[in-house]
């Protein structure tokens, strides 16, 4: 498990730093981050909790949602 959302994990196979490949929505309050190792090609998925007040959803909560033109 990684301590912060900005930290990249080490590859469990070759011990090199993995790169963030994609972020997908997970269960409510979570997102799934997929990391790939450029050295050996291994992928790892981690589920991280997300603070909804620190995401793009804040605009919706602040009534910035506008009808289409």
- With cut-offs at 50, 70 and 90, classify the pLDDT of residue 17: very high
Q: Residue 29: what pLDDT?
A: 82
pTM over 0.85: no
Residue-wise pLDDT tens digits, 25-59 = 888 888 899 999 999 999 999 988 877 666 555 55
What is the domain partition of the chain in residue ranges? Answer: 7-69
Domain 7-69 top-level CATH class: mainly beta
Hey, how many other C-beta atoms are within 10 angstroms of the C-beta on 10?
A: 15
Q: Output phi, psi for 60, to 5 deg.
A: -65, -40
Of residues 56 and 23, more confidently modeled: 23
């Amino acid at each position: 498990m990684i301590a912060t959302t900005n930290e990249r994990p080490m590859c469990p196979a070759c011990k090199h730093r993995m790169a963030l490949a994609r972020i997908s929505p997970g269960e409510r309050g979570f997102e799934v981050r997929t990391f790939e190792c450029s050295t050996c090609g291994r992928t790892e998925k981690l589920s991280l909790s997300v603070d909804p007040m620190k995401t793009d959803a804040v605009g919706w909560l602040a009534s910035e949602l506008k009808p289409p033109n």
